[in-house]
Amino acid sequence: MHPTLVILAAGIGSRYGGLKQVDGIGPKGEAILEFSLHDARQAGFGKAVIVLRKAIEDEFRQRIGARIERLMPVEYAFQEMDTALDWLPEIPPREKPWGTGHAILATRPCVHEPFATINADDFYGADAFRVMAGFLRRECAPDLYGMVAYRLGNTLSENGAVSRGVCTVGPEGYLSDVVERTRIERHDDGIGFTDDNEQRYLLPADTPVSMNFWGFHPSLFEHLDAQFRTFVQQNWNNPRAEFYIPSVVSRLVHEHRVRVRVETCESSWYGVTYPADKATVQAALAALYPQGLI
């Protein structure tokens, strides 16, 4: 059975100022998502499930839908305020959906085989897809998940702070912990993150971080559902609370429910968090084109 690729594309891109999921970034005007689907198909993924919000579905389909559907079979799932909340008599007040864990939970009706997750607007590189596809076909199990980690210094924006899942990896290559850190950026004395108390902590440039390139068995959906119900009840009055997938995985690891194999990718990750990032990513992809890497 071929693994499935779940692509998280429901974000509105408030800092970017538009739908970066469909913005032309490549040398021929390709969206980053098109490179990911090409690399996934070459690696042996069988279909893609793209998570959208209804508010952006028409624009997404008009600008990119036909092109990506030629690359591999595509299904769509939708992440709305009330997705996976049919057990509640009323929906809590929200400013936006519940985050990456919630987005993956929205794909439950579409996914019945081992699957990987990626962000629509991140460029991961062909090697990462080959490594993940091999893991999903040969090793993934109800209690064994995987992830591709990148070195922190290869994932920063020169134009502002970013959020990353900072990973601790044990000596045997399994994930010990992953903590979502926000406001990570370069400073004169190194790379650091700033916490809610405005305290700054330095991180080594080679710290492994999650870029949401995870490999899961469908067993994840039961865990997601249980944790999401608890999260909603605990954050009923917090309209900005987000149900992050790194937090879900970290809890499963701490409770010894799953192990997570970590493969560290040495190549650079490219993404567009801010409008000024676009030129940097365009130059990087243009440089890869003649090398045959994309």
| pTM of structure | 0.91
- Indicate the class that CATH gives domain 4-142+207-244+268-288: alpha beta
Alpha-carbon separation of residue 248 from 66, 178, 252, 293 (angstroms): 34, 10, 6, 33
Q: Is the pLDDT of residue 52 over 80?
A: yes
- Asked if pLDDT for residue 293 goes beyond 60, the answer is no
d(CA 271, CA 164): 12
- Confidence at 11, pLDDT banded by 50, 70, 90: confident
SS3 content of the chain, % helix, strand, coil (to 5): 30, 30, 40
Query: Stretch 246-264: mean pLDDT, rounded?
Result: 95
Q: Which residues pair with 123 in a beta bridge?
A: 270
| pLDDT of 294 strictly over 70 | no
Q: Which of 10, 8, 17 shows the shortest CA–CA distance to 160?
A: 17
Query: Which residues are within 8 A (CB) of 224 and not within 5 positions of it... i.e. 6 or more apart?
Result: 101, 104, 105, 108, 248
Please report which confidence band the pLDDT of residue 196 belongs to, taking 50, 70 and 90 as the band edges.
confident
Helix (H, G, I), strand (E, B) or coil at 176: strand
- Residue 18: count of CB within 10 angstroms of its CB: 12
Q: Read off the pLDDT of residues 101-158 as tens digits, 9 standing for 90 and up.
A: 999 999 999 999 999 999 998 999 999 999 999 999 999 999 999 999 999 998 998 8
Residue 242 has a CB neighbour count (10 Å cut-off) of: 18
CA-based nearest residue to 98, from 232, 224, 218? 232
Hey, what are 37's tokens?
């689907």
- pLDDT digits over 207-224, tens only? 999 999 999 999 999 999
Q: Taking 90 as the threshold, does the pLDDT of residue 95 lie above it?
A: no
Judged against a pLDDT cut of 80, whether residue 284 lies above it is answered with yes
DSSP 24-55: --STTS--HHHHHHHHHHHHT--EEEEEE-HH
Q: Of 42-51, 95-104, 148-157, where does the model show the most confidence?
A: 42-51
Band the pLDDT of 93: cuts 50, 70, 90. Answer: confident
User: What are the start-end ranges of the H helices in the chain?
Assistant: 32-43, 54-60, 66-71, 100-105, 126-138, 220-234, 245-254, 277-288
**Distances 13 to 96, 184, 264, 272, 275 between C-alpha atoms, Å:** 12, 18, 27, 10, 10
Higher-confidence position of 74 and 28: 74
The rounded mean pLDDT for the chain is: 91
Q: What is the residue extent of each domain of the chain?
A: 4-142+207-244+268-288
What tokens were used for 166?
């900072």
Q: Region 97-104: what's the mean pLDDT? A: 94
